[in-house]
Amino acid sequence: KEKRLFINETYANKQEELKDKTNKLKELYQRYRERQREMKDLSEEWEVEKVDLMESTHDLEMQLQLRDLILKHYIPEDWIKAIESRAHYNEPTDTWMIPGLQYAANNIEHQEHESMRRKAQNKFARQLIRRGRGVGAGGGPFDPLAAEEPEVDFSGGPPPKENPYYSYGVDIKKRKKKKKKSRRQ
């Protein structure tokens, strides 16, 4: 069909030639408009995909910054180096593998690491220490991982909460007793 558009034909008269060339021109213009629509659709799809990729890149950068911040402030450098030296990349599963990870911290008693505690000494920790809340039971420095609150046993269920809608800020029973006494007198 496309070959038919570009073949030089001989016509019997000018009317026939005009009609045929007008039809060819309309068909070519219609194809041109279709190609323009396709290009516009592809351009819009590309823009949407570009925005999605930029958003996912931004999210990944934020996660990476958070990970780096946590590593920098709460995990000692020698621990990080030890983990990095043991880790290896598994291409078929597309994951990082650390041998013996199933045994980590499960059967080994956790030892406090002094550099971890030192890194936790930020402005907030120093403020807590000044107020006397940052010093643990052992009298040591602020430990962000230690529980500051004593554990409460809720084996019988949570303690009942007082309904705020029944509280008026004043003891109603006492007011009623005073009113009754004043009426009797």
142 within a domain of the structure (yes/no): no
The beta-carbon contacts of 114-120 under 8 Å, at least 24 apart in sequence, are: 115/76, 115/77, 115/78, 116/74, 116/75, 116/76, 117/141, 117/142, 117/143, 119/72, 119/73, 119/74, 119/76, 120/73, 120/74, 120/144
> Domains in the chain: how many in total?
2
- Asked if 57 and 111 sit in the same domain, the reply is no
- Asked if 40 and 70 sit in the same domain, the reply is yes
Q: What is the pLDDT of residue 71?
A: 86
- Asked if 7 and 47 sit in the same domain, the reply is yes
- Asked if 70 and 1 sit in the same domain, the reply is yes
Q: What is the pLDDT of residue 98?
A: 83
Render pLDDT for 105-134 as a digit per residue (tens, 0 to 9).
554 444 444 444 555 556 666 666 556 554
Average pLDDT, integer, range 5-28: 83
Segments forming the whole domain that contains residue 39:
1-74
- Asked if 8 and 56 sit in the same domain, the reply is yes
Render pLDDT for 24-65 as a digit per residue (tens, 0 to 9).
899 999 999 999 999 999 999 999 999 999 999 999 999 999
Q: What is the pLDDT of residue 167?
A: 58
113 within a domain of the structure (yes/no): yes
15 within a domain of the structure (yes/no): yes
- Asked if 57 and 14 sit in the same domain, the reply is yes
1 within a domain of the structure (yes/no): yes
